Structure 1
Amino acid sequence: MMRCEADAGEKGLLSRLREGDRHAFQTVYQRHKISIAAAIYRMVKDPELVEDLLQEVFIRLWEHRQRIDPGLPVGGYLHRIAQNLVCDFFRKLSRDKKMQDQVWTRIQPSAISVGERMEDREQQELIHAAINLLPPKRREVYILCKFESKSYEEVSLMLNINMSTVNDHIYKANQFLKKYLATRIVYLLLVGISHIGQVV
């Protein structure tokens, strides 16, 4: 973490913030909101969640303003708050099935145009690695339905299996992928957290 001294203008601003000056708080918010939001987005890939976490970052800043050291850049302090909030979110995700379902909805291949909307190469590789762990027939059915947009009826005819079997393959594939990704995506995204404090 950079520990260079804050410039004279920022020192005064932070001193006023420590004393409860709301105008100083708004100035800090305007100066840093974009960089903090961008850092959070790189990890969570969810604009709505970014908005919630960004708001919480600055709530924490105001609530703990007396901890601010006016001699140090406030950007680093804000990034540490953001880092802690994102870590807390993904720890909660690893324990909360409802949250896992929400993340799954955002990342499952049927909800994206593969190779177009997938902004994070590592997440894309993780999804494909998970799909490759499926049994061969289940993987084939899943790819045809989710990546090639084939209907269950089309897949049934192509593979000479009944539609209930297609449905069973999709259901079991989704259950496996959800469980697999729910644990591994937490690790993948937390890896990136170590970089958040470097962008100040």
Structure 2
Amino acid sequence: MSLPLKTGDDQSLLLSQLKEGDSNAFGSLYDLYSRMLLSNIMHMVKDQEVAKELLQDLFLKVWEKRESIDVEKSFKSFLFTIAKNRVYDYLRKVALDKKLTQELIANTIESYSHTEELLSFKEKNACLNQAIEALSPQSRQVYQLSKIEGLSHKEISERLGISVSTVNNHIVKSSKAVRNFLYEHGDLALALAVVALFDRVK
């Protein structure tokens, strides 16, 4: 259970307790700063799920480095410095992954001479089917209607009786989940070919 935080002296005490491994003090500091940090990270990465992951990573780093915290210095500045570094690391990785992905897609697509071959590959690929089956029922339905049947967001909204924004959320999350599954469980080059094909099929 986290403790109430009222004054600068309270924070200094909590930081001292945190340095000693007190999980309650850690919880109080998390409650105090997490919302502010999440908003700041979200502003930089423009993705709520990524922002939440980076926030958790940030506080994991705080816990791991708790013994090195200087209680005489601004803890807020310390947190925001870590947050900035986490975000920069993430953005660098995204840029590198994007470049690598584009190169692999280009190399892979060269191995296929016709769109029909890519379509056949999409339909028969067992790993892709497993990735789709791993989605939640509604996400799977939305994903199939969008990526396989080629319906627009509005058409899916009308067919399923859900809002267009809900359709979009399902597609974004399910697309990410399918890509991750393919990368983790399938041949990377072939997985990228599937991703490239889906990006073309609207």
Per the shorter chain, which TM-score range? Answer: 0.3 to 0.5
Tell me the TM-score normalized by structure 2.
Answer: 0.45
Tell me the TM-score normalized by structure 1.
Answer: 0.46
